[in-house]
Structure 1
Amino acid sequence: MLWPYTTPGISDDLFERLPGIPLSKREVRLLLICALRLKADSVLWDIGAGTGTIPVETGLLCPKGKIIAVERDEEVASLIRRNCDRFSVANVEVIEGSAPDCLEGLHPLPDRVCIEGGRPIEEILKQVWQYLKPEGRVVATAANLESLYLISEGLAKLQARNIDVVQAAVNRLETRGIHQIFAAVDPIFILSGEKLDS
């Protein structure tokens, strides 16, 4: 078994990767998963699932739940499936399509949504909010100030409550030649908000 633990934080090198396809670094995944506040039976939509690290981690953490991973690229969608197979995660469904257009008709409806670098972010956020169950949570990442502004403005327009913004700056010890140095992982903003009970 590749990851025999009940805790999240799978090592990045255990995932199969494709050149140029983003992978949420382990430390960032930990913050994302904390912000999602998952339950054993959570239904999570992961929009822009990339390598599939979030679907794998959350699939293991929510054994009675359902994870829907949305990815527009067919080759990347296949990569997500392979990574789920590597970790024996059976509760992930991969949907090939571009958000927000492919979201209509997806079931089950989510109580958690993770948006990783999707465009157009405003439209995706507005659309998932319609499907999000009352008391549900949205967590989104922003790698630049423009995305940070669009997501925070979007959450405000949707009247999200308990909005939280964290800027993660992580350094990892790496060996380069004969020296060990701390190398920075690209900084990222993690935003979250909750939907009021309707």
Structure 2
Amino acid sequence: MTWPYVTAGIPDDAFERLPGIPMSKRESRVLILSQLCLKKNSILWDIGAGTGTVAVESALFCTEGQIIAIERDEEVVGLIQRNGERFNVQNMTIITGHAPDCLAAIVPRPDRIFLEGGRPVDVVLRAAWDCLAAGGRLVTATNSLEGFYRMVQTLGALQARKVEVIQSAVNRLETRGIQQVLVALDPIFILSGEKP
């Protein structure tokens, strides 16, 4: 399978999934990718990569860069690998490890980080921030108020610049029986900031 476009938004059903493994939905992924402000040569760490949707789409944009997907679950690592192969991604490396413990040993160092996993999130965020290059961007997402508060507090304590918060509420048109209805996706908070 290929994605012949230069825009984000690969449909969710184009990715292989595993039961119980969360996936960044297409509409949320588009917002996440826009907040990452990727360049062709960006080095992105996707911490808590899950199904690998953000990592795969980022790899398609960062043709001269490198994407490092970090995931603790070995079965899920295989899923990310298969999703990368579906889109013929050549510039993605998958690291099996627990954040924040594995982060210090990973090279190359990133100029972009997407964080959607790891507990406790504030500890993982601080460790990721320490690895981020000066001038780099960190984007994080959560659907819980507790996660949102921790992320806001941590970005503030780290003196992140250009902090932005997006709270998305998305509805999709679906066919149910003979009717078409709008179905709400789970709301998500997307936070971003730059390292001085």
**Residue 35 of structure 2: aligned partner:** 35
**Residue 152 of structure 1: aligned partner:** 152
Residues 92-142 of structure 1, C-alpha deviations (whole Å, 9 max, x = no match) = 100001100011111110000000132111111111111110100000001
**TM-score (norm: length of structure 1):** 0.97
* Counterpart residue type for residue 48 of structure 1: G
Question: After TM superposition, which residue ranges in structure 1, 4 or more long, deviate above 3 angstroms?
Answer: none
Unaligned runs of at least 5 residues, structure 2:
none
Find the aligned partners of 1:45 and 1:179 in 2 and give their Cα distance. 42
**Residue 85 of structure 1: aligned partner:** 85
Q: Tell me the SS of whatever aligns to 1:156.
A: helix
Q: Matches of residues 138-177 of structure 1 in structure 2 within 5 Å? A: 138-177=138-177
Find the aligned partners of 1:11 and 1:49 in 2 and give their Cα distance. 17
Note the aligned Cα RMSD (angstroms).
0.7
* Counterpart residue type for residue 155 of structure 1: L
Alignment of 1:49 onto 2:49: yes
**Residue 16 of structure 1: aligned partner:** 16
Residues 161-185 of structure 1, C-alpha deviations (whole Å, 9 max, x = no match) = 1110000100000000010000001
CA shift for structure 1 position 58: 0.1
- Number of aligned residue pairs: give it: 196
Find the aligned partners of 1:69 and 1:117 in 2 and give their Cα distance. 11
Q: Tell me the SS of whatever aligns to 1:104.
A: helix
**TM-score (norm: length of structure 2):** 0.98
Q: Matches of residues 87-166 of structure 1 in structure 2 within 5 Å? A: 87-166=87-166
CA shift for structure 1 position 5: 1.3
Report the identity percentage.
Answer: 58
